[in-house]
Amino acid sequence: MESLETLVGQVNSIVWGVPMLILIGATGVFLMAGLLFMPLRKLFHAFGLLLVPSRLGEGDIAPRKALATAMAATVGTGNIAGVATAIFLGGPGALFYMWVIALIGMATKYAEAVAAVSFREVDHRGMHVGGPMYYLRDGVGEKFPALGKVLAVAFALFASIAAFGIGNGVQSNSVAQALDSSFGVDPLVTGIIMMVIVGAVLIGGIKRIADVAGALVPLMILLYVGTALVVLAINYAAIPEAFGLIFQYAFEPVAAAGGFAGATVAAAIRFGVARGVFSNEAGLGSAAIAHAAAQTDNPVRQGHIAMLGTFIDTIIVCTMTGLVIITSGMWLSGETGAALTSSGFAATLSAGDEIVAIALAVFAFTTVLGWSYYGERSVQYLFGENAIWPYRVVWVLAIPVGAVFDLGLIWLIADTLNAMMALPNLIGLLILGPFVFRKTREYWDSKSSTAAPAE
């Protein structure tokens, strides 16, 4: 078992190495340039679509609930433990590179959603299904039929397996550990309770998942960010210095101090980019599966809403976590992961540990719901609709198993498969880039002609 873990670890370091991070970044830059920086220029328009939704089209769930479902899968351990790990390994400058990859990733997430809605289809149950496997098969396949089919099957296969790790076992384990350390709840009890609740939600399919995500995700983001703002208000005098450290150490190495071992600029870039991608999932293609179910009559409109997920996840939520850790001074403590984030909150608020534990538990729970849908759709693509219910049963039964076992190897396998999900998706986005650019021009040209005064 130890040799297997070593082997998987070596593969993981390769697939999540510098070439993959460069590919993710380069794809985002290509899409952002081709879109003429539209995701940044039209950010307020996107929020307007979210807050004041326009007419709905065909689909299964409201556009904002599609965003909530996608964010249920992204806002999780990456926002709490991932940010802390990035700062522990790369210093405060890592947060800068999380921002960079998130802003670039907005174009990637936008393109994924545009392609997903454009190439979605209706299954025999009347449900709208889509995502990378469909736009790889039909979009890429239009130009390169054999390549499109191979990329689609590869994505669906890797996603269906990776979901059990990154979206199930790791998440239930995170909830169990957080509730055990903060409230003394037995991990098995946590696992069983989660199993029952998740099972009850999954019976209702995407509509119930979207309803639960639509209620829980915004509420928990507001509570978590609100608590972070309270901490920052108390530590307001340290905020200018915190930003100074972020920008300073983005471009120069950090010397060892206290419990901090020091970090190079290369480490800040590597871990900032890696943890940023882990948190917002731009490039993985997973969120596109949720957006494909949105009730919309225009793929570009849903693309605008989809790109907000990356902005909210990293630019807002991850930034709050990072600033709490840095302004509290706990980034020098030598702690890492969720423990470092808890220490940052607890250094200012007496209930900091409990607040982080509750946030982590809810975020991880919603991640289980979101990834269950991703895995289900991937299995449906591979084996048909008859595979859905067996997959749901196995998914629910895996939750208490993940809650009580050491998941070191499972985590490595899932993380490795995540990278292997990203590879076919990124290849597809590079090929479909011109299609996305054309769709975007048509959308904005139509809006310009509608807004123009009559002759």
Question: CA-CA distances (angstroms) from residue 134 to 5, 121, 156, 283, 357?
Answer: 33, 8, 10, 16, 38
* 180/191 Cα distance (integer angstroms): 11
- Say what angle helices 352-383 and 337-346 make with each other, to 10 degrees: 140
User: Does residue 294 form part of some domain?
Assistant: yes
What CATH number is associated with residue 170?
1.20.1740
Compute mean pLDDT per 10 residues along the chain, 455 residues long, and list them.
78 82 93 97 93 78 93 85 91 96 96 97 93 97 96 95 86 86 90 94 90 91 94 96 96 90 90 87 93 94 96 95 95 88 92 88 91 95 94 94 78 78 95 97 86 49
Structure tokens, 408: 């070191």
Q: What is the pTM of this model?
A: 0.93
| 425 contacts 108 by C-beta, under 8 angstroms | no
What confidence score (pLDDT) does residue 407 get? 64
Backbone angles phi, psi at 384, to 5 degrees: 95, 175
User: Does residue 452 form part of some domain?
Assistant: no
Contacts of 422 (CB under 8 A, 6+ apart): 20, 24, 283, 284, 285
| 369 contacts 209 by C-beta, under 8 angstroms | yes
User: Does residue 455 form part of some domain?
Assistant: no
User: Does residue 449 form part of some domain?
Assistant: no
User: Does residue 110 form part of some domain?
Assistant: yes
What confidence score (pLDDT) does residue 54 get? 63
Helix (H, G, I), strand (E, B) or coil at 255: coil
| 355 contacts 369 by C-beta, under 8 angstroms | no
Q: How many domains does the chain have?
A: 1
Contacts of 207 (CB under 8 A, 6+ apart): 60, 61
* 176/335 Cα distance (integer angstroms): 20
A 10 A CB-CB count for 218 gives: 15
Q: Which of 127, 168, 431 is nearest to 289 (CA)?
A: 127
* 96/249 Cα distance (integer angstroms): 9
| 96 contacts 90 by C-beta, under 8 angstroms | no
User: Does residue 80 form part of some domain?
Assistant: yes
Structure tokens, 446: 């139509």
User: Does residue 450 form part of some domain?
Assistant: no
What confidence score (pLDDT) does residue 175 get? 86
| 46 contacts 300 by C-beta, under 8 angstroms | no
DSSP H helices in 59-166? 63-74, 77, 83-90, 93-118, 132-134, 141-143, 145-164
Structural domain for 395, as ranges: 2-439
What confidence score (pLDDT) does residue 455 get? 39
User: Does residue 451 form part of some domain?
Assistant: no
256: buried, middle or exposed (CB in 10 Å: 19+, 13-18, 0-12)?
A: exposed
Q: Which of 87, 90, 80 is nearest to 321 (CA)?
A: 80
